[in-house]
A and B are shown apart, each in its own frame.
Chain A
């Protein structure tokens, strides 16, 4: 501790961030319902909105790039993408309401939504 010259202010800052992290964890996470619809938004426009139960494989192409989205067995994942970080591919499968996969460089959002919600509108944050 002394070696790195940790000050009192550092420790206060550290504790504040950890507390904020834990608080936001409890605020945001509640047991989510299994979702029912897959909504894909590319460049701010909804390009796909179908039931989660209908298996399909989609090629989403926009001026920003290409993503392949797979819907299978009531879950969704991005299987291929030509973006730089491949964060969307490594995000893996999602299946619960409110979960999302984001491909930031392509401005693509794959989200799972409940029965009575319209794309992009949320009354509260679930999950």
Chain B
């Protein structure tokens, strides 16, 4: 059983990471990165989620992502953006947790899967909301951009996780 202090410490670490992820969401909302392909973004919030996955475990990462999506939809979006974000977020989160558990993938690999599954989740949501089969015309674009964003995030996450380890600061609270 965890002592109350550990539980509180865990809770506050998760809260700080959620706030950080939310700030990243907000930055991407404020300054959309225009790469010539409409709707494509880096998904910096996922960086925080991946670092949380490695430092605090799957459950904490899931909670951080879930709360982040709800808050960002509440603050900057509407009902539809909430549905899209939730579909993308939950599908990518499930795949990242699954790959993390297999222990066969590196941070970059997990981030790649996360980026791609996020886009596929949003595409599936779009298909059900709009009932337009032609939406799948975006599939190749979304697959490849999700992959690229995932690799960039994965490389950044690897560096961050290494730095966190080197500096001796540990997010993980001892059980």
A contacts with B, residue count (CB < 8 A):
46
Q: B-side binding surface: helix, strand, loop or mixed?
A: helix
Interface size class of B (residues with CB under 8 A): 35 or more
A104 to chain B, nearest CB (A): 6
**Quick check: B137 and A6 within 8 Å, CB to CB?**
no
Q: A21-B147, A87-B39 are in contact. Are A44 and B131 (CB under 8 A)?
A: yes
- The tally of CB-CB contacts under 8 A between chains A and B is 120
A127 to chain B, nearest CB (A): 6
A34 to chain B, nearest CB (A): 16
**With A and B bound together, what is the CA distance between A8 and B109 in angstroms?**
10
Partner of B134, one of A20, A22, A44, A122: A122
Q: A7-B106, A100-B134 are in contact. Are A107 and B139 (CB under 8 A)?
A: no
**Quick check: B77 and A84 within 8 Å, CB to CB?**
yes
B14 at the interface (CB under 8 A from A): no
- Residues of chain B contacted by A17 (CB below 8 angstroms): 112, 116, 143-144, 147
- Residues of chain B contacted by A3 (CB below 8 angstroms): 158
**Quick check: A105 and B77 within 8 Å, CB to CB?**
yes
Q: A9-B105, A24-B140 are in contact. Are A104 and B132 (CB under 8 A)?
A: no
- Residues of chain B contacted by A125 (CB below 8 angstroms): 133-134, 136-137
Q: Which of A14-66 contact B (CB under 8 A)?
A: 14, 17-18, 20-22, 24-25, 28-29, 41, 44, 64-65
Q: A28-B137, A98-B137 are in contact. Are A109 and B38 (CB under 8 A)?
A: no
- Residues of chain B contacted by A99 (CB below 8 angstroms): 134, 137
A86 to chain B, nearest CB (A): 8
- Residues of chain B contacted by A29 (CB below 8 angstroms): 137, 140
Most-contacted residue by chain A among B76, B140, B144 (CB, 10 A): B140
Q: Top 10 closest A-B pairs, CB basis?
A: A10-B109, A21-B143, A25-B140, A9-B104, A87-B39, A90-B38, A5-B106, A87-B38, A21-B144, A122-B133
Query: Can you list 8 pairs linking A and B with CB atoms under 8 Å apart?
Result: A5-B106, A7-B105, A8-B104, A13-B109, A22-B140, A28-B139, A44-B131, A105-B77
